[in-house]
Amino acid sequence: MRFALFGAGRAGTIHARNIANHPRAELGYIFDVDQAAAQRLADARGGQAPRSAQQIWEADDVDAVLIASSTDTHVDLLRQAMRAGRPTYCEKPIDLDIEKVRLFVEEASGCDLPIFIGFRRRFQPEFRAMQRQLRDGAIGQIESIRITARDFALAPLAFLQRSGGLLRDKMIHYFDLAPWLAAERPTEVYATGSCLIDPVVGQMGDVDTAVAVLRFPSGALCTIENGRRAAYGFDDRVEVFGAKGMLQGGSGPAENLVRFSAAGIMQSRFPDYYGEESFAYALDGFITALESGAAVSPSLQDGYQAQLLAEAAIDSMRANRPVKLQWP
């Protein structure tokens, strides 16, 4: 599967490596407004670095598109990919402007082109195993979910300025993960945050530490704690508690999923995880879906749902009150 990659920054570099290393994929083109960066990446991973994006849309040897450019370019590139009929993997969020997202989702509703949104947490082996066990009723009715996610270090301020903020850029992963695990969409969100790592983040109008609480139709509750820095390294953990027990999974000495029940404690171990392998898992999921003709997941609609939840959480944090959710 021959890819055209948009974006030669941090995420683009990771995706270029994964495409080049995938046994059923290759890089055809890399485009970035920083043409030198695109050329360096093409020299390292293969493919061409055209000076114009139009050369990619006119090329007849592109099977799929991967969008890892700055967020404010995503909708325009998605629209061009849709016109060209190219299946697309797009990094989250879909755009910084929710109205642009809404309009594009409406445009795309009449098109059957596969559009995959890069919520890679779904592809971590321990969380996939957790979701399967939840569907099989391993812990009975879900009563609460607790998610903790902290980066190992504060990202560069230049990135934070254009990222869309902690809730829209980082917590959005878990606004996708929690409903996926719970198999229902929340009806209410409350969010609050602080600047505890660097006051400059606050001067940007953002926070570096935040907590959100979701309420689901079943009555189940979910808390999500996000931070931009952990002295001990990347921290990504999920706990789901139910009537018959509890599942815990996430980062540690090795990836693991632990099941607690009246019968005892059972543990499954997965390969070590350092924060980037899930990019490769998600890419493989996208490629496999296209090859098999299956629907891609997470879909454009999943991305829209998570972003609507992120926007509601931002409104909640600004107003310091819970926000009710009404789904389209």
Domains 2-113 and 121-324 in one fold: no
Bigger pLDDT: 156 vs 33: 33
Could you report the per-residue pLDDT of 195-235, keeping only the tens digit for each?
Answer: 999 999 999 999 999 999 999 999 999 999 999 999 988 88
Alpha carbon distance 231, 229 (integer Å): 7
Query: Within a 13 Å sphere around the CA of 256, how many CA atoms are in the beta-carbon half?
Result: 10
Q: Does pLDDT of 280 surpass 50?
A: yes
**Predicted local distance difference test score (pLDDT) of residue 270:** 66
**Predicted local distance difference test score (pLDDT) of residue 325:** 97
**Predicted local distance difference test score (pLDDT) of residue 83:** 95
- The β-bridge relationship of strands 221-227 and 142-150 is parallel
- The β-bridge relationship of strands 221-227 and 209-215 is antiparallel
Assigned token pair, 317: 């944090």
Average pLDDT over residues 128-156: 95
Mean pLDDT of the chain: 93
Q: Does pLDDT of 38 surpass 70?
A: yes
Find residue 101's DSSP bridge partners: none
Instruction: Give the list of residues 6+ apart from residue 36 with CB closer than 8 angstroms, or none.
Output: none
Q: Looking at the domain 2-113, which fold is it?
A: Rossmann fold (3.40.50)
Q: Does pLDDT of 101 surpass 90?
A: yes
Alpha carbon distance 207, 165 (integer Å): 7
Could you report the per-residue pLDDT of 287-302, keeping only the tens digit for each?
Answer: 999 999 999 999 999 9
Assigned token pair, 226: 């996000």
CATH among 3.40.640.10, 3.40.50.2300, 3.30.360.10, 3.10.20.600 for 121-324 = 3.30.360.10
Q: Is the separation of the CB atoms in 167 and 160 below 8 Å? A: no
Q: Does pLDDT of 255 surpass 60?
A: no
**Predicted local distance difference test score (pLDDT) of residue 234:** 85
Q: What does pTM read for this prediction? A: 0.93
Q: Does pLDDT of 159 surpass 90?
A: no
Q: Where are the domains of the chain?
A: 2-113, 121-324
Q: Is the separation of the CB atoms in 169 and 219 below 8 Å? A: no
Q: Does pLDDT of 252 surpass 60?
A: no
Assigned token pair, 82: 């849709």
**Predicted local distance difference test score (pLDDT) of residue 11:** 93
